[in-house]
Every structure is written in structure tokens, then in C-alpha cells.
A and B are shown apart, each in its own frame.
Chain A
């Protein structure tokens, strides 16, 4: 039995995890819901992740995106939702699974990484070390969506 089915069974057995295949008959596309971590500008917001599984999984990492124009974050391309995270690229290891991947992205929300900006506006603020401005710009983006 393929590894993806095994992962599906484990994930399905726990009901506190918001990670599921898009339709029951297709394990190649998944969606996940992550909640903004407390004490970050994302607190109180939920974000949807779109996950597509390449044929070579788990030897290739899953491809993960936010909804377009939904995630203001220094490591996320705001227009496309593309995420820059090491484990989704060269640092991927086949011992990671879907759940770990989603949790890493959740962690990325509270630990933005100034070294690989995909959002230039936020990247500049972050490099200047202006955390207050960074946070309020994120809040402004999120507010604007409502």
C-alpha cells in the first residue's frame, strides 16, 4: 500500500487536525487550515493551504501554496501565495510527512525569515529591524481583505 494512503489513515484517525484530501477520491490534492499563532499579527485569522503531491512523493516534497493575495508574510509571495521554505525545497527529507510540512508552515508564521524574502515590501521593513512597522503592515493587509 502506498505511503500516502498510510498517512491519510493516520491523519484521518485524529480529529483535531485540519488537513484533508480535497475530494475523497483524490489523494494527490489536499487542503489544510492553519490558525494564526497567538502574539502574532495573524492571531484570530485562519489560512487555507493548498497542497499538491508530486508523483515522486516522498522522494520529492509536496507543493504547498497559500490562497493568492491572502498571506502577507516576508517568505510568501503575496500575489501568488507561493511559499519560500527550506524543507519545501533543497532541505526536504522523505522522513517528513504532510502533517510535519503543514506544522512547519504554521511555525513560519511566528518565525519569519529575513534571508529569503518573497515579499519585498515586508522584507525591507524586516531588514531594517522595524518590527512594529512590519506587524502593522501585516495587520493592514489582513484588515483590507475583510
Chain B
């Protein structure tokens, strides 16, 4: 810092604003992508396309790991941080971060999302395998459980983003967890300060929009959650709640159907699970269109079975059965349940 500066306030560095942090992050992502591309190219040369196709995720993690190990981990600025002139300090803006914090950040940033995905998958599998011998009612409850875990993670992520837009401290969760904050590397002129203030306001607007959006997403979930609770209380007290009551609630006043779960949340029947639809014999469990074990086996009017996705995609092209050419309109395909 310049020694002639007498004001104590000017002696501490300014915390970086949201705009700079986002900009630095974009730059870094760009560079990580370039690294990823080069690494993929190299591996394709060495090991062939099959290898790189199968390991896309791993390659991307490795390239991120390499980039951050060469920059943040050993205490250097990343190119993105250099670009907007910010650097990392600890939570209270009183000094630099410790090495273990940087390590936690690098590992969390690169491996975190991957591990969380694996965990959810593992959880789903464990729940799915127990489903067969349970009664119908229990399997519904298990389904709701899976939904809530993914929803909780999404919800946490939204809260994190909201905090970022309003306070502008941590752009990603791993930085929040390991306590890596940013300060601007130079003194701000007055005009720069004004500009940053303006930017901060823009981000607050963004934050408000996100807030509204999350409220509208999570309110119906809370509603179904409470309905489920009510249903449980009812059944445990010996009464049964009329199912049609619940269904009516799923339509809102305009008559359109809301609350349709997105694809990742809906339950899929996969024939790679030997206990699923045991009546389908071993030699007809593969879909002739994708050559894999069928996912959501679905029946064309002629009786031929395909994956739901495979046959409906084809019907968009031509409305006939790929095997016997009998008419097969998408609305006549029936998924097995």
C-alpha cells in the first residue's frame, strides 16, 4: 500500500465485489475448459475415443485438479484472479488463508459435485433394492425420501446463491466451506467505488428474482410435504384419506397440472435390475433400438417392447413400429408399470 495514505480505512484492502468474483470465475472456467480439451485430445491419441468417451467426467475433474494445484494450492493467483486483480484472504479479511484451507477448497471444488452425485446414486440404489419385498405403501414413502434428499441439496445450493447475490462473498460452496474470501489487490478510486456500488445493486436485483423463484419452487413442495404428513397421521390414526382429494389438490385454479416431477426425480424401471418385471424373459430384456437393458419398458400397439424414450423418439420421426411396421402413434405407447 502507499505509505502516504493516512486514513486507517484505506489501509485495509477492499473486499472484492460480486462482479469481479464472477468475472474471475468465468475466466478460470474458460481456462479449465481449454485444459480439459487438450487433455481429452491427448488421451484420445493415447487411448482412443472409447476411453475418453467413457471417462469424460474423470478427465474434467483431473484437469480442474491440475489447474488449481498449480495455482491456488501453492498460493499463486489463478489467471482469472490475476485478470480482475483480486486475491484470496481469510474469512475476517485479517490475513492469508492457511494451506489446509486451500487444500480443502481444491478438493471440495473438484471432487465435491462428483462425490455428492455418487452418494445420491448409492442412496437410490439402496432404497430401490429394498423396494421389492416391502408393501406398496412403504415404497411410496421411500420414493419421497429420495426426492427430499435431492431437494434439500438443491435448496441448500439456492440459499448459497442467494447469499452470494446479496452479500457477494463466496461464489461457490467449497469456498464458503473452506472460508476463502477475495479482496481487491489495489486501492479503489472514487469513480470505481461508485461503479462497484452500482454493480452490487444489480446483483441484489438478481438475488431478489432468484428469491422469488425459489419461493415459488419450494412452496408447493412444502405443501405436498405437509400433505404427506397429514396422510401419515391419518393412516396411523386408522382413518383413510380419500386419494381423489389429493389429486384435486395437484391441479391449481387455472386447471393446468402443476407439480409434474422433472425427469431425474421420477422413478425409472430399469431391466438391468433382475427383480424388475420378472415376467420378461432373459433374452428379451434388451431394447433393440439402444441395444441396452430397457429403461421404462413400453409396449407398442402391436406388442413389441422398447424403452419409453427410444420408441417415443422414433415415433416423432415416423409413426410405425420399428420391428413390424404396424402403425404406432406416440399416444398409443403404453409404459409397463
Contact = CB atoms under 8 A, between A and B. Distances in A.
A125 B314 CA distance: 40
Interface in A1-34: 1-3, 5-8, 24-27
A7 B291 contact: yes
A123 to B, nearest CB: 28
Interface in B278-337: 288-292, 310, 313-314, 316-317, 322-323, 325
Contact of A25 (B49, B290, B310, B325): B49
Contacts of B44: 25
B289 A24 contact: no
A95 B288 contact: yes
B295 to A, nearest CB: 13
Q: How many residues of A sit at the interface, in one of the four size bands?
A: 10 to 19
Contacts, number: 42
B48 interface: yes
Q: Is the interface of A mostly helix, strand, loop or mixed?
A: loop
Nearest to B310: A94
Contacts of A26: 49
Given A1-B54, A5-B50, A25-B44, A59 B314 contact: yes
A80 interface: no
Nearest to A6: B291
DSSP majority for the B interface? Answer: helix
A93 interface: yes
The residue in B49, B288, B323, B325 that gathers the most chain A C-beta atoms within 10 A of its C-beta is B49
A101 to B, nearest CB: 14
A94 B314 contact: yes
A25 B53 CA distance: 10
Contacts of A5: 50, 53
A7 B292 CA distance: 11
A59 B309 CA distance: 12
A51 to B, nearest CB: 16
Nearest to A56: B317
A60 interface: yes
A58 interface: yes
Contact of A59 (B54, B288, B291, B313): B313
Nearest to B41: A25
Contacts of A56: 317
Interface in A64-119: 93-95
A27 B52 CA distance: 13
B49 A95 contact: no
A3 B290 contact: yes
A6 B314 CA distance: 19
Contacts of B310: 94
A27 B53 CA distance: 11
Nearest to A21: B49
Contacts of B314: 59, 94
Nearest to A7: B291
Given A5-B53, A25-B44, A95 B323 contact: yes
A1 B272 CA distance: 14
B317 A25 contact: no
Nearest to B50: A5
Interface in B46-72: 48-50, 52-54
A24 B48 contact: yes
Contacts of B45: 25
A59 to B, nearest CB: 5
B17 to A, nearest CB: 42
A94 B291 contact: no
Interface of A: 1-3, 5-8, 24-27, 56, 58-60, 93-95
- Nearest first, the 10 closest Cβ-Cβ pairs linking A and B are A25-B49, A6-B291, A93-B322, A95-B322, A25-B44, A59-B317, A94-B322, A24-B48, A95-B288, A94-B289
7 contacts: A1-B54, A3-B290, A3-B291, A5-B53, A6-B290, A27-B49, A56-B317
